[in-house]
Amino acid sequence: MWDRQIEDLSREWRVLRYDLPGHGGAPAQPAASVGELAARLLATLDGLGIQRFGYAGCSIGGAIGIELALAHPHRLASLALVAASPRFGTADEFRRRGVVVRTNGLEPMARSAPESWFTQGFAAAQPAIVEWAVQMVRTTDPGCYIAACEALAAFDARAELGRIGVPTLVLVGSDDQVTGPAEARTLVAGIPDSRLALVPGASHLAPVEQPAAVTDLLVRHFAGVAQDTLSAIPVPPLMPQASAPATPVAEFAPVVEPTHPGRVDPYEPGIKVRREVLGDAHVDGITARADGFADDFQELVTRYAWGEVWSREGIDRRTRSVITLTALVAGGHRDELATHTRAALRNGLTPQEIKEILIHTAVYCGVPAANSAFAVAREVIQQETAPGP
């Protein structure tokens, strides 16, 4: 992706490029989060003796750059975020991508990539580059692609942008429909030392579509920051040292008795797991319909079903989905079965596995119950696994 920037950048700087896991022939070792991707990159840099560096990243590469600036600020001298965002779409969108790839492979994503990545005029004039983009997606390891989707689903730096303390260039194509000028302006509004560069006639992969403009902006940005790559900035202490011994001041404070002494309230982890499994849209819909009559019940469900049971570490979420589907078939709970069929797909079960579960329930829960379950599951699977535009 950066081929046409390398010649100019290499005149002044040592340039290191890297592939995501399972992309471009890199080992297929899925990373669970953007933080893990950043940690792997730092391990590579450590092996090369690079302590402090400037970083440019496009799309998910931009998310990695934001993570580096937040979690490892002493390593970063400057930052360029291309086609990036503090929050990439919604968690539901990216988890549904994982469901589609798990069911249909990468071909639907490969076919739709050019439309998302390039302007129509560029795609028509550069068929060889379009084919490169399609082949790049086709040859990616599916498990690593799904893991990257999951990493972006969980990525949200909106509340932390003010902590980014390095000079930052935010670069965006004027026609980017994926992470466009609105997302770029959110980054600039949140990052204290940042400036915006809008590249006309470019979509999501601006370094490919408008290489000269992107190269010029990168050269000017990195040239404006002195970079010593051999030594890291000392990590600031977690707490400043007091200049003189502090004298404790005694005062009375109200005694607050915890509801459950020594026990963390399961509500917050519960709402997090509930959103991850059922999706933001589903949980937001429940919240929007909430009223005084059902509020307490929904809080109970979040706290105990999701915060206590689904959050336990004894079995994984795939297994919990298998158990849940079986129990819902046995109970004849068709509405909940639809919800948890979607959840099962998000938790990694394939349509083939769901079919086998329902066949198994026919023996132990009854053929009529399984027959009804097949009707519900079929409709949900068709909706969830159909490749989007």
Taking the whole predicted model, whether its pTM rises above 0.75 is answered as yes
What are the residues facing 194 on neighbouring strands? 168
Give, for 317, the enclosing helix (H) or strand (E): helix 317-331
Top-confidence residue, 279 or 264: 279
- Say what the pLDDT of residue 263 is: 65
- What tokens were used for 89? 């779409």
Domains observed in the chain:
3-223 (3.40.50.1820), 267-385 (1.20.1290.10)
Instruction: Answer whether 165's CB lies under 8 Å from 193's CB.
Output: yes
- Say what the pLDDT of residue 225 is: 65
Give, for 197, the enclosing helix (H) or strand (E): strand 194-199
Instruction: Answer whether 22's CB lies under 8 Å from 28's CB.
Output: yes
- What tokens were used for 140? 């990616």
Q: How many whole angstroms separate alpha carbon 48 and alpha carbon 46?
A: 5
Long-range contacts of 363-372 (CB under 8 A, 24+ apart): 364/326, 364/330, 365/326, 365/329, 365/330, 369/329, 369/330, 369/332, 370/329, 372/332, 372/334
Q: How many whole angstroms separate alpha carbon 131 and alpha carbon 147?
A: 24
pLDDT digits (tens, 9 = 90+) for 45-75: 999 999 999 999 999 999 999 999 999 999 9
The burial class, CB within 10 Å (0-12 / 13-18 / 19+), for 375 is exposed
Percent of the chain past pLDDT 90, that is, above it, reads: 83
Alpha-carbon dihedral angle through residues 367, 369, 371, 376, given to the nearest 10 degrees: -160
Amino acid at 315: I
Q: What does each C-alpha distance from 244 to 128, 141, 320 come to in angstroms?
A: 68, 58, 56
pLDDT mean over 299-308: 93
Amino acid at 10: S
pLDDT digits (tens, 9 = 90+) for 134-151: 999 999 999 999 999 999
3-state helix, strand, coil split of the chain in percent (to 5) is: 60, 5, 35
Helix (H, G, I), strand (E, B) or coil at 199: strand
Contacts of 41 (CB under 8 A, 6+ apart): 18, 64, 68
What are the residues facing 170 on neighbouring strands? 81, 196
Q: Is the pLDDT of residue 350 over 50?
A: yes
